[in-house]
């Protein structure tokens, strides 16, 4: 729930999920999976009057149709919110449609290839061990607050060339944009403004003293006509990398540790068979996909036979698609060595997450290093696991006990 | 003798998820944007046939074609 004074009225609790769904309802936040099953049984596309009108595709097929259809569905708004103010702060390429999308994306792709991530991997391994050193002797910790959050914060700061110690600021802005911002436009605008000011300062520094980091790479990049990117474009892409690069992976690592804490069989198997990690990471990404995107309907069309009309948003739930039993046998079961897994955790089509290779590397390294140092752990019955609300889902409190403690 | 396999990555469909490269690094190469291409002419050595099918069945964009010659 929002912890700030909200300018919008609180949402009434949902009683009719099929015709009045709300992805910010506390019941959804706590356990969305039975809700998605109910919606999927009702229709491949459901609708709510909340959020000024919003559809949700409930099947893998319907999600895929929308993700591939950039003619009828625009990415200019990528968060489903209570309000739809004029678009001021763009974040290319995530908020871009064709034909602007491809050149904006191609600038960001080379720094995020698997080979580029291999160079970053030793730093991430060191970050994980520095964090574990801080709490391992205590025999317990809130893993969301002391581990899973800091891995992506420090990794992305390292890549961008900004101080890792500014992490608390990043977390505050992201909370304002992705959670509070759904219902509170001021919280979102304040966060965007502060973030833009922060990065503008870093741009100015680099204009005087160029550096060898991702910010400088973006500043040196040329658009498709050979012109340097505008400061506005660079700032937009930097906002995107910070917003998209942190609580997404924070959530994915957290959900993975949560699953392993409550599933000793999977945990013991991963400790004994580390070669399973690549398949296990993909399965954890499928079962606990953190990211739900959005589209705006631009023209009337149909999705899986269901009519959709302009003026509505679309809650593009990759997490729900990844639980569709028509696509994945035993979809609600974590099969740690699942062989066939075309999951859509990083999206489908042209907007495939630019940071997917970074996210996979961080997840793999964070779970590997944790299991090496803390092979035996469980949920702390004295604590409570809490989950983030809305666009990105993952544990925000994850109290764990280690070993036989 | 089993039929020989050949793979091809459809460049219109590939979005650079790189699942194939992770599962079958011998059979795929990534370009500077991270998009996948089949190694050489796409012929699959008999010892790597399982990996070819594994890569094919994990591509989220259904961009990998496996054909039997």
Predicted confidence (pLDDT) per residue in A168-204, tens digit? 899 999 989 888 988 999 999 999 999 999 999 999 9
CA distance B48 to A284: 26
Residues in chain A with CB shorter than 8 Å from the CB of B66 are none
Model pLDDT for residues A368-390, shown as the tens digit of each residue = 999 999 999 999 999 999 999 98
Nearby residues of A15 by Cβ (< 8 Å), 6 or more positions away: none
Q: What percent of chain B has pLDDT over 70?
A: 96
Region B30-52 average pLDDT: 97
SS3 content of chain B, % helix, strand, coil (to 5): 25, 25, 50
**Residue ranges of the domains in chain B?**
5-68
Are residues A348 and B60, on separate chains, in Cβ contact within 8 Å?
A: yes
| pLDDT for residue A105 is more than 50 | yes
Quote the ipTM score: 0.96
The minimal CB distance from A349 to the residues B15, B22, B30 is found for B15
B18 interfacial to chain A (CB closer than 8 Å): yes
Task: Compute the nearest-CA separation of A124 from chain B (Å).
Answer: 19
B16 interfacial to chain A (CB closer than 8 Å): yes
Fold of B5-68: Alpha-Beta Plaits (3.30.70)
Which pLDDT score, from 0 to 100, does residue A4 have? 43
User: In A80-204, at which residue ranges do the beta strands (DSSP E only) sit?
Assistant: 140-142
Are residues B58 and A110, on separate chains, in Cβ contact within 8 Å?
A: no
Are residues A346 and B54, on separate chains, in Cβ contact within 8 Å?
A: no
Angle, CA of A253, A254 and A259, to the nearest 5°:
100
Q: Which residue of A has its CA nearest to B13?
A: A349
| pLDDT for residue A8 is more than 80 | no
Are residues A342 and B58, on separate chains, in Cβ contact within 8 Å?
A: yes
CA distances (Å), origin B60, targets A73, A177, A381, B19 = 20, 29, 38, 8
Please answer whether residues A120 and A160 qualify as being in contact, where contact means their C-beta atoms are separated by less than 8 angstroms: no
Compute the count of residue pairs across chains A and B with CB atoms less than 8 Å apart.
52
Region A91-110 average pLDDT: 93
CA distance A270 to A336: 9
Confidence band, pLDDT 50/70/90 cuts, at residue A9 = low
How many structural domains does chain A have? 1
Are residues A106 and B33, on separate chains, in Cβ contact within 8 Å?
A: yes
Which pLDDT score, from 0 to 100, does residue A153 have? 93
Confidence band, pLDDT 50/70/90 cuts, at residue A1 = very low
Region A49-57 average pLDDT: 97
Nearby residues of A138 by Cβ (< 8 Å), 6 or more positions away: none
CB atoms within 10 A of CB A276: 15
Which pLDDT score, from 0 to 100, does residue B2 have? 57
Task: Compute the nearest-CA separation of A350 from chain B (Å).
Answer: 6
Q: CATH number, domain at A227? A: 1.10.630.10
Q: Angle between the A150-160 and A167-174 helix axes, to the nearest 10 degrees?
A: 110
| pLDDT for residue A3 is more than 50 | no
Which pLDDT score, from 0 to 100, does residue A178 have? 86
Region A110-127 average pLDDT: 96
Region A130-139 average pLDDT: 98
A329 interfacial to chain B (CB closer than 8 Å): no
SS3 content of chain A, % helix, strand, coil (to 5): 50, 10, 35
Model pLDDT for residues A332-365, shown as the tens digit of each residue = 999 999 999 999 999 999 999 999 999 999 999 9
The minimal CB distance from A109 to the residues B16, B54, B57 is found for B16
Region B20-47 average pLDDT: 97
Confidence band, pLDDT 50/70/90 cuts, at residue A207 = very high
Residues in chain A with CB shorter than 8 Å from the CB of B15 are 348-350, 352
Domain that holds residue A34: 26-402
Q: What is the DSSP letter of B10?
A: -
Task: Compute the nearest-CA separation of A341 from chain B (Å).
Answer: 5
Asked if residue A349 is part of any domain, the answer here is yes
| pLDDT for residue A149 is more than 90 | yes
Are residues A114 and B17, on separate chains, in Cβ contact within 8 Å?
A: no
B66 interfacial to chain A (CB closer than 8 Å): no
B25 interfacial to chain A (CB closer than 8 Å): no
Nearby residues of A210 by Cβ (< 8 Å), 6 or more positions away: A216, A219, A220
Asked if residue A158 is part of any domain, the answer here is yes
Which range is least confidently modeled, A3-12, A57-66, B40-49, B51-60? A3-12
CA distance A95 to A334: 32
Would residue A230 be called left, alpha or beta, if left means φ above 0 and alpha means ψ between -120 and 50 degrees?
beta
Asked if residue A13 is part of any domain, the answer here is no
Region A125-145 average pLDDT: 98
Model pLDDT for residues A237-286, shown as the tens digit of each residue = 898 998 899 989 999 999 999 999 999 999 999 999 999 999 999 999 99
Which pLDDT score, from 0 to 100, does residue A182 have? 87
Asked if residue A19 is part of any domain, the answer here is no
Query: How, if at all, do strands B64-68 and B5-9 pair?
Result: antiparallel
| pLDDT for residue A5 is more than 90 | no
The helix/strand/coil state of A206 is helix
φ and ψ of A88, to 5 deg: -115, -45
The mean predicted confidence, pLDDT, of chain A is: 94
């Amino acid at each position: 729930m929002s912890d700030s004074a909200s300018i919008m009225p609180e949402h009434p609790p949902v009683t009719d999920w099929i015709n009045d769904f709300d992805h910010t309802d506390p019941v959804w936040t706590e356990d969305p999976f039975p809700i998605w099953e109910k919606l999927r049984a009702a229709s491949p596309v459901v609708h709510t009057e909340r959020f000024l009108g919003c559809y949700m595709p409930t099947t893998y097929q319907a999600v895929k149709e929308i993700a591939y259809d950039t003619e009828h569905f625009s990415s200019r708004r990528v968060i489903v919110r209570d309000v739809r103010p004029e678009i001021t702060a763009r974040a290319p390429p995530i908020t871009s449609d064709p034909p602007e999308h491809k050149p904006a994306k191609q600038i960001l792709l080379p720094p995020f290839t698997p080979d580029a991530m291999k160079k970053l991997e030793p730093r991430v391994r060191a970050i994980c061990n520095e964090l574990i050193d801080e709490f391992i002797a205590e025999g317990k910790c809130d893993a969301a607050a002391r581990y899973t959050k800091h891995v992506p914060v420090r990794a992305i700061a390292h890549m961008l060339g900004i101080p890792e110690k500014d992490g608390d600021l990043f977390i505050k802005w992201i909370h304002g944009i992705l959670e509070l911002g759904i219902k509170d436009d001021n919280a979102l605008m304040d966060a965007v403004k502060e973030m833009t000011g922060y990065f503008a300062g870093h741009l100015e520094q680099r204009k005087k003293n160029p550096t060898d980091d991702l910010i400088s790479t973006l500043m040196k990049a040329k658009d498709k006509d050979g012109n340097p990117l505008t400061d506005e474009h660079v700032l937009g892409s930097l906002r995107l990398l910070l917003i998209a690069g942190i609580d997404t992976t924070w959530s994915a690592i957290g959900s993975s540790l949560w699953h392993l804490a409550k599933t000793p069989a999977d945990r013991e198997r991963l400790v004994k068979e580390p070669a399973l990690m690549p398949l296990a990471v993909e399965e954890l990404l499928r079962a606990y996909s953190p990211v739900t995107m959005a589209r705006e309907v631009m023209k009337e069309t149909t999705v899986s036979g269901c009519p959709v009309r302009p003026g509505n948003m679309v809650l593009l739930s990759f997490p729900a698609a990844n639980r569709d039993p028509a696509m994945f046998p035993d979809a609600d079961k974590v099969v740690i060595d699942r062989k066939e897994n075309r999951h859509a955790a990083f999206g489908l089509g042209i907007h495939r997450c630019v940071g997917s290779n970074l996210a996979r590397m961080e997840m793999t390294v964070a779970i590997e290093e944790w299991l090496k140092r803390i092979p035996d752990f469980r949920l702390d019955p004295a604590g409570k696991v809490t989950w983030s609300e809305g666009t990105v889902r993952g544990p925000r409190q994850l109290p764990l006990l280690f070993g036989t403690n | 003798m089993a039929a020989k396999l050949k793979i091809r990555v459809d460049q219109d469909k590939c979005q650079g998820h790189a699942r194939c490269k992770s599962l079958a690094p011998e059979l795929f190469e990534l370009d500077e944007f991270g998009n996948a291409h089949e190694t050489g002419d796409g012929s699959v050595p008999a010892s790597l046939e399982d990996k070819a099918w594994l890569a094919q069945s994990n591509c989220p964009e259904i961009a990998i074609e496996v054909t039997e010659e």
